[in-house]
């Protein structure tokens, strides 16, 4: 594969696709060719399979090839990378069940050809099981193509940091970060298994071809480490650098930290100095030199590979002022626009005032995490703010919470003066308690339990929103069907989702919409809702409000925006931060990433300060969402 000079920093060939669907299509095509070639030679094609959200679009494309183009898997043998230790094959979160639901039940692969490490071994069986797994791979001539995802720890399979280059299939302890990432699948980190059986790095590297896929910004930094960093046991995916036929297939989001994307001027190739790219270079340069923008001089430009920029847009003094002003103009305490003021350099227009602001939260907590302080400001400044939780979020709620509420309801019902009045409530509480007991720790929630958990989260969101001054009739719940009918990592949206979003938009005719998820993994809840809102807006494009509405993207749990990416920076006072933290504390089950939000807001303020702008307590950041 020939590589351009821009890719000089990359030690593994890396292809950036416009989106995961395009990458999945290309990879599925390669698989088709491998199957066809091997079968012509009278041999089975041996595929190494991965689980998690990453390969889902790829599996959907394989199913399509099977159903629509007749691709047969009769002569395919598969080996999965890993399995949680302690989960039986029928457990809803076992990888065996995942593979059945996501692909094997929809293609014609014989059951006998499917190999997945067992999750239910006794400790004394682990060694021989793993050895047999290795031998079986070798006896079939090795894996023709191994599919990989990458965890935020840099793991491939479950080879957590510390796994050696030559490690083989074995039992491993899962890293804390990996367990945090799986927390929502298991309704809480405490329920995530501590161990797994995984192919080793050495096992994986014996495959003839390797393709590692990664989607969304949350993977960007680990992808850059694996592709450009040193080969190290601290990032097991970096060992792909040691393979003759390994490639990374990534989307735009996951490519953001690669040098050719992030610091293109360092690759020695010509850079097109768009306003965004210029701002990026200037902010980077200021951070590198630890100087405010206005104190950068010619030498700094030259030493940081930016002489080109200087000769195109200098002299430095003027360029500095221009960028300083641009950054300065992103700051506004008036996210809904400042009425009766000149808005030439303000992020949001002054009129109309007040505005109808629609704050869309993929799951109940997301908007408070990402823009709790801004919600407070919008309300205070007299706008008509409506907060809509797009999904119920019920899959996040731990059983212990459901148990607590059902038990309380039960107690209330039995204490009622006239127990007859509480018949329905008593029955509901009893059903909930017995269903909780029947399903056990890991069982799937029944519709009644999902309903109860939905109500619990609704209560938490109302409570949190009240803390920001939002009244009940301004807090709405869309309960999009894709979420109600699905599970994490396997959601599938339909026309019904689109229709209900369209209805919401038409009903509220907003002047401003706030949303998140553009940079998220496309199969995550925020990734799916982002695309749905995008489609719903398109479907409403003939309506007047849709063309005039301003669209703002906030960041929830995704990587924080860097200063050059920010179009609107809303400063928060210490008191407002207190209010936001207070609102966040009303949620029972925030993930560790979500809990970090206030610190990220404070970091944003520190960054602005170090660039020479005003020093605030904290800042919430937004990007203008440009319609496609």
Chain contacts with ligand F6R (rule: CB under 6 A):
50-54, 81-82, 149-151, 155-158, 489
Nearer to ligand F6R, 57 or 373 (CB): 57
Q: Is the peptide bond before 504 cis (omega within 30 degrees of 0)?
A: no
Q: How far is the CB of 49 from ligand F6R (least distance, A)?
A: 8
Strand 475-477: give its sheet, edge to edge: 475-477, 384-389, 356-361, 512-515, 550-554, 618-624, 568-572
Is residue 160 among the annotated active site residues?
yes
Q: How far is the CB of 147 from ligand F6R (least distance, A)?
A: 9
Nearer to ligand F6R, 152 or 595 (CB): 152
Q: How far is the CB of 204 from ligand F6R (least distance, A)?
A: 9
Closest-approach residue to ligand F6R (CB): 149
The alpha helices in 208-265, defined as continuous H runs, are 220-228, 259-262
Please list, in sequence order, all residues whose beta carbon lies within 8 angstroms of the beta carbon of residue 557, skipping any fewer than 6 positions away: 218, 366, 369, 591, 593, 594, 597
Q: How far is the CB of 159 from ligand F6R (least distance, A)?
A: 8
Token readout for 492 is 């599938």
Sign of torsion, CA 115 116 121 124? positive
What is the Cα–Cα distance from 463 to 375, expressed in whole angstroms? 14
Nearer to ligand F6R, 179 or 602 (CB): 179
Q: How far is CA 212 from CA 128, 150, 161, 216, in A?
A: 28, 7, 17, 14
Q: How far is the CB of 120 from ligand F6R (least distance, A)?
A: 18
DSSP string, 46-111: EEEE--SSTTHHHHHHHHHHHHHH----TTEEEEESEEETT--TTSTTSHHHHHHHHTGGGS---G
- Strand duo 82-84 + 114-115: pairing: unpaired
Q: What residues pair up with 619 in beta bridges, in sequence order?
A: 571
Nearer to ligand F6R, 46 or 150 (CB): 150
DSSP string, 262-321: H-GGGGTS-----HHHHHHHHHHHHHHHT--GGG--HHHHHHTT-HHHHHHH--HHHHHH
Q: Phi/psi zone of residue 176: left (φ > 0), alpha (ψ -120 to 50 degrees), beta?
A: alpha
Nearer to ligand F6R, 489 or 607 (CB): 489
φ, ψ at 534 (rounded to 5°): -55, -45
Q: How far is the CB of 587 from ligand F6R (least distance, A)?
A: 23
Nearer to ligand F6R, 52 or 556 (CB): 52
Nearer to ligand F6R, 430 or 487 (CB): 487
Of the candidates 10, 93, 134, 160, the residue annotated as catalytic is: 160
Residue written as tokens 């094959």?
Answer: 89
Nearer to ligand F6R, 81 or 605 (CB): 81
Number of H helices, E strands in the chain: 23, 17
Nearer to ligand F6R, 381 or 524 (CB): 524
Q: How far is the CB of 52 from ligand F6R (least distance, A)?
A: 3
DSSP string, 371-438: HHHHHHHHHHTT-EEEEEESS--GGGS-HHHHHHHHHHHHHHHHHSSSGGGGHHHHHHHHHHHHHHHH
Q: How far is the CB of 103 from ligand F6R (least distance, A)?
A: 13
Token readout for 141 is 């001539």
* Burial label, 273 (beta-carbon count in 10 A; 0-12, 13-18, 19+): middle
Q: How far is the CB of 151 from ligand F6R (least distance, A)?
A: 4
The residues that are catalytic are 160
């Amino acid at each position: 594969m020939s590589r351009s000079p821009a890719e000089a920093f990359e030690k593994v060939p890396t292809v950036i696709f416009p989106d995961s669907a395009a990458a999945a299509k290309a990879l599925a095509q390669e698989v088709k060719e491998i199957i066809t070639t091997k079968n012509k030679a009278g041999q089975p094609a041996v595929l190494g399979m991965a689980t998690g959200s990453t390969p889902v679009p790829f599996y959907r494309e394989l199913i399509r090839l099977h159903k629509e183009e007749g691709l047969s898997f009769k002569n395919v043998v598969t080996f999965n990378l890993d399995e949680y230790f302690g989960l039986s094959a029928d457990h809803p979160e076992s990888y065996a069940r995942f593979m059945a639901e996501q692909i094997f039940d929809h293609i014609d692969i014989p059951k006998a050809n499917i190999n997945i490490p067992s999750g239910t071994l006794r400790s004394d069986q682990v060694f021989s099981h793993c050895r047999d797994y290795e031998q079986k791979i070798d006896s079939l001539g090795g894996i023709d193509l191994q599919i990989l995802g990458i965890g935020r720890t840099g793991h491939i399979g479950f080879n957590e940091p510390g796994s050696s280059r030559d490690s083989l299939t074995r039992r491993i302890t899962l890293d804390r970060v990996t367990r945090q990432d799986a927390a929502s699948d298991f309704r809480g980190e405490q329920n995530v298994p501590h161990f797994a059986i995984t192919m080793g790095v050495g096992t994986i590297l014996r495959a003839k071809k390797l393709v590692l896929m990664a989607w969304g910004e949350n993977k960007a930094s680990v992808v850059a480490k694996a592709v450009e960093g040193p080969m190290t046991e601290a990032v097991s995916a970096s060992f792909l650098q040691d393979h003759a036929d390994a490639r990374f297939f990534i989307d735009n989001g996951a490519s953001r930290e690669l040098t050719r994307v992030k610091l293109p001027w360092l690759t020695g190739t010509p850079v097109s100095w768009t306003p965004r790219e210029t701002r990026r270079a200037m902010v980077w340069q200021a951070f590198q030199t630890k100087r405010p923008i206005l104190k950068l001089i010619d030498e700094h430009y030259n030493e940081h590979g930016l002489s080109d920029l200087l000769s195109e847009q200098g002299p430095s003094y003027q360029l500095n002022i221009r960028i300083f002003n641009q950054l300065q103009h992103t700051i506004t305490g008036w996210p809904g626009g400042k009425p009766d003021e000149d808005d030439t350099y303000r992020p949001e227009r002054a009129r109309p005032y007040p505005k109808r602001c629609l704050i869309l939260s993929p799951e109940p907590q997301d908007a408070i995490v990402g823009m709790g302080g801004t919600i407070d400001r919008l309300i205070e400044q007299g706008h008509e703010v409506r907060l809509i939780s797009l999904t119920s979020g019920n899959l996040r709620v731990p059983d212990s919470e459901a148990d607590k509420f059902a038990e309380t309801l039960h107690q209330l019902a039995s204490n009622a003066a006239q127990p007859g009045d509480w018949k329905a409530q008593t029955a509901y509480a009893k059903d909930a308690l017995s269903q909780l007991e029947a399903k056990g720790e890991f069982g799937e929630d029944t519709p009644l339990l999902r309903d109860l958990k939905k109500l619990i989260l609704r209560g938490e969101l109302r409570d949190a929103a009240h803390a920001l001054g939002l009244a009940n009739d301004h807090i709405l719940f869309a309960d999009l069907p894709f979420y109600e009918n699905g599970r994490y990592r396997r959601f599938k949206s339909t026309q019904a989702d689109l229709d209900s979003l369209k209805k919401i938009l038409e009903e509220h005719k907003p002047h401003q919409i706030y949303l998140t998820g553009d940079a998220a993994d496309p199969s995550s809840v925020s990734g799916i809702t982002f695309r749905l809102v995008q489609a719903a807006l398109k479907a409403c494009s003939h309506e007047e409000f849709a063309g005039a509405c301003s669209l703002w993207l906030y960041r929830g749990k995704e990587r924080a925006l860097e200063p050059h990416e920010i179009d609107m920076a809303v400063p928060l006072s210490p008191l407002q931060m207190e209010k936001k933290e207070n609102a966040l504390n009303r949620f029972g089950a925030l993930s560790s990433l979500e809990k970090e939000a206030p610190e990220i807001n404070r970091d944003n303020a520190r960054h602005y300060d170090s660039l020479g702008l005003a020093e605030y307590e904290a800042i919430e950041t937004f990007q203008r969402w440009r319609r496609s």
